[in-house]
Amino acid sequence: MGLWIVMVIWGASAMKNYFDWPVVKNVLPNGMRVLILEYSKIPLVSYQTWFLVGSRDERIGHTGAAHMLEHMMFKGSEKYSGKDFDRILHEKGMVNNAFTSWDYTGYYENFHPRWLSLVMDIEVDRMKKLRLDPKDLASEKQVVLEERRWRIDNNPQGTLREKLFDMIFQNTPYQWPVIGYQRDIQSYTPEILRQFHETYYVPNNAVLVIAGDVKAQEVLPLVEKYYSDLPNKPIETRNWLKLKEKPVTRIPEKKYVEIRKKVQTRTYLWAVLGASVHDPKSVALDALAGVLGRGLSSRLSRVLYYEKGWVNQVSCFHLSADAIGLFGCYFVLKPKVEWKAVHDLFWRQVENIQSQGISVEEFDREKLQIQKEFLDGLDTLEERARTLAYYELIHGSYEAINQQWQRYMSLTVNDLITAAREFLQPSKEVVVALLPEGDN
């Protein structure tokens, strides 16, 4: 079976100083995309297997299934038992882990190049067929319930975030937590997870990145040998396609919710819907978040922290996912300060940007910050491998990092003002407050 090989050397001129990495891209006949980055600074390989499946592919009643399946991927496949899996990787000096998000699930191993074939054998085996033993599942449910308590139930900030997503992403598959609700975690069966695995863990839904001390021409035949037999299986429906085609613009049903916990500080999380990573406006919202509330010299920090002294902390952010986005600001109020006063002043700052614009100094600062943040995420072999996997899977091509960079670099002040006018509207806001029990 032949390979359809596309050789691309990555190095757009505008980014030559930053991203001139040699990447070889291959698409197997079964649809699996393979990226190889030759990078010999250290004698390691970062092996990233990412699937385009996340919590947005679940439904109410089965929330957290993508994450649960991620855990069960370590509990044994046809050829390798769960114990074998951990033991073999450990004996060979590897480190490995996995992660699940709204949009994707990723697995990685970092190891010496000599173990490349072994890792391929293991990864292909667990793509082919998982054991999903009911006894293992029962035990792993307890592990995931502990994880949930640790991240959310016993962590007030986690509870705050869960509530915010529930409100702002209402009636979308981004509404529930990636880890799932407790009652759903308790109710998984091997069948539910097997169906999930068989549907989404298919080569045409995966990206494999092999980055490190390897030669592409040596790796390609191995990839073909191990992965070519995996059958292509089209995925019929995706929960989020409609959302991707037509972004949500509705007015939220609930605008304000209070959570009472044993805490001593008052935190307010304010948000409106933002833009997806594919929306050109997303980069303007990223920069707008910076102008408004990233850093101590930002608009909000200047007024609320330095001038008024009303908050201990204020910061803004823009989260962009594949099909949705969220623009938020986070306020920790000082004792006796009223939220209403902070909220009013916040909106005055927003209105000021909408009507008066922003200064050249603010704008230049943001562009420089963005440039630095881009570079800060590319320090290590593993970070580079993840960056490639992310862009290939979510943006459709690793080369999209070039476009993303260009989008940031070609931003104008007007783009930020337009985005502020379109997205930051009082009618669209939701606020979740985390307050001490008994506090009035």
Partner 1 sequence: MAFFRNLKYLLVLGFLSTLFVGCSHFIDRKDRGMNSMKTYQWTWQEERLKNGSRLIWVADDTLPKLQVEVYFPAGFVWDSVYKKPGLAYMSLAMLDESTQNKKALTMQEFRENHALGYHADVEADYAVVGYTALSSQEKALLEYIKMTLFEPIFDPSDFERVRQDVQTHLKRIMEQPNRLIQVLARKERWGAHPYGSFKMGTLSSLEQLTAQDLKEFYLKHLRVGCLTVAISGRWTEFFKQQLTQIISQLPNQCPKFSYPPVHNLPKDPPVVAFVHKGLSQVELQWFLVLPDVVRFSRDYVPLRVGVFAFGGAFASRLNQVIRDDLGLTYSIYAQLDSLRVASVFTISSFTEGERLNLLIQKVNELYHQWLKDGITESELEAAKNVILTQFPASIETASAMAGAIARFAVLEWPIERLNAYLDEVQSLSVDQVNKALKHHLSGKNLRLVIYMDEHYRNLAPKDWVIRPFEGL
Residues 135-154 close enough to bind partner 1 by CB under 8 A: 138-147, 149-150, 153-154
Cα distance between the two ends of the chain = 70
**Which of residues 198 and 364 has its CB atom nearest to partner 1 in the complex?**
364
User: How many helices, marked H, and strands, marked E, lie in the chain?
Assistant: 17, 12
**Which of residues 93 and 396 has its CB atom nearest to partner 1 in the complex?**
93
Residue 384 CB neighbour total at 10 angstroms: 22
With CB under 8 A as the contact rule, the residue among 171, 232, 297, 359 that binds partner 1 is 297
8 A C-beta contact, residue 284 and residue 302 = no
Contacts with partner 1 by CB under 8 A: the residue count is 77
8 A C-beta contact, residue 223 and residue 24 = no
* CB of 159 vs partner 1, minimal distance in Å: 10
Show the tokens assigned to 97. 């882990």
With CB under 8 A as the contact rule, the residue among 12, 27, 30, 86 that binds partner 1 is 86
Which spans in 61-133 are helix H?
Answer: 65-72, 82-91, 116-128
**From residue 215 to residue 244, what is the string marking binding to partner 1 with x (rule CB under 8 A)?**
x--x--------------------------
Which range, of 118-126, 195-203, 361-369, 424-432, touches partner 1 by CB under 8 A? Answer: 361-369
Q: Which residues of 125-146 are buried (b: 16+ CB within 10 A; e: fewer)?
A: bbbeebbbbeebbeebbeebbe
**Which of residues 95 and 235 has its CB atom nearest to partner 1 in the complex?**
95
421 touches partner 1 (CB under 8 A)? no
**Which of residues 14 and 42 has its CB atom nearest to partner 1 in the complex?**
42
**Which of residues 124 and 179 has its CB atom nearest to partner 1 in the complex?**
179
**From residue 303 to residue 322, what is the string marking binding to partner 1 with x (rule CB under 8 A)?**
---x--x--xx---------
* CB of 329 vs partner 1, minimal distance in Å: 17
User: What contacts 24+ positions apart, CB below 8 Å, involve 423-427?
Assistant: 423/272, 423/273, 423/274, 423/275, 423/281, 423/285, 423/327, 424/272, 424/288, 424/327, 424/350, 424/354, 425/272, 426/347, 427/251
Residues between 184 and 203 with contacts to partner 1, criterion CB under 8 A? none
8 A C-beta contact, residue 46 and residue 169 = no
* CB of 295 vs partner 1, minimal distance in Å: 5
With CB under 8 A as the contact rule, the residue among 35, 36, 89, 272 that binds partner 1 is 89
**Which of residues 280 and 377 has its CB atom nearest to partner 1 in the complex?**
377
Pick from 28, 30, 36: which is nearest to 7 by CA?
A: 36
* CB of 111 vs partner 1, minimal distance in Å: 7
Residues between 365 and 394 with contacts to partner 1, criterion CB under 8 A? 365, 368-369, 371-372, 375-376, 378-382
* CB of 364 vs partner 1, minimal distance in Å: 8
**Which of residues 149 and 255 has its CB atom nearest to partner 1 in the complex?**
149
For residue 251, give the DSSP letter.
Answer: P
Tell me how far apart the alpha carbons of residues 19 and 373 are, in angstroms, rounded to a whole number: 14
Which range, of 2-10, 56-64, 244-252, 358-366, touches partner 1 by CB under 8 A? Answer: 358-366
341 touches partner 1 (CB under 8 A)? no
81 touches partner 1 (CB under 8 A)? no
8 A C-beta contact, residue 396 and residue 277 = no
Residue 439 CB neighbour total at 10 angstroms: 12
CA 289 to chain centre: 18
263 touches partner 1 (CB under 8 A)? yes
302 touches partner 1 (CB under 8 A)? yes
**Which of residues 129 and 141 has its CB atom nearest to partner 1 in the complex?**
141
Residues between 94 and 113 with contacts to partner 1, criterion CB under 8 A? 94-96, 110-113
407: which residues sit within 8 A by CB, 6+ positions away? 280, 283
Residue 23: which H helix or E strand, with range? Answer: strand 22-27
**Which of residues 234 and 335 has its CB atom nearest to partner 1 in the complex?**
335
